Amino acid sequence: MEILVASAVGLMTAAGIYLVLRLRTFPVIVGMAMLSYAVNLFLFATGRIAIDMPPILSKTAAGYTDPLPQALVLTAIVISFGMTALVVMLSLGAFLETGNDRIDMIDDDETPSPAPASEEAK
């Protein structure tokens, strides 16, 4: 079971990083969501993968599941939802302003020339 969860975290992280490096805003947003899902699954898995165990320590149960990672994951889900909503609104505003969703990057051919020296420096 642990190898399956570890593989899922690795695949989601790889897919998220690949999508974040794209030159369009929509794949970047999906990549950030994938990365947040991978982190949430990793945090959830740190509380030991225990099936049919209570999240509290009791005298009748032989074991328990750590409730702290579950609380951290719930908090991270809310934060990532807010972050995704903000980034979607920013990219929608940029799309409406420019008419496309490309991320502008300076090419090597278009590097800005150095500023001329001022009169005071002479």
Domain ranges for the chain, please list them.
Answer: 2-51+65-98
Q: What is the pLDDT of residue 72?
A: 87
Mark the ranges of the chain whose per-residue pLDDT is less than 50.
none
Cβ proximity of 23 and 103 under 8 Å: yes
Q: What is the pLDDT of residue 107?
A: 65
Say how far apart CA 112 and CA 91 lie, in whole Å.
26
Q: What is the pLDDT of residue 85?
A: 95
Q: What is the pLDDT of residue 43?
A: 87
Q: What is the pLDDT of residue 92?
A: 93
Q: What is the pLDDT of residue 82?
A: 95
Q: What is the pLDDT of residue 1?
A: 75
Q: What is the pLDDT of residue 122?
A: 52
Which amino acid appears at position 79 of this protein?
I
Does this model's pTM top 0.95? Answer: no
Cβ proximity of 80 and 40 under 8 Å: yes
R_g of the chain, CA atoms, integer Å: 23
Q: What is the pLDDT of residue 106?
A: 67
Say how far apart CA 40 and CA 69 lie, in whole Å.
9
pLDDT in tens, 31-62: 999 999 999 999 888 877 667 776 666 666 66
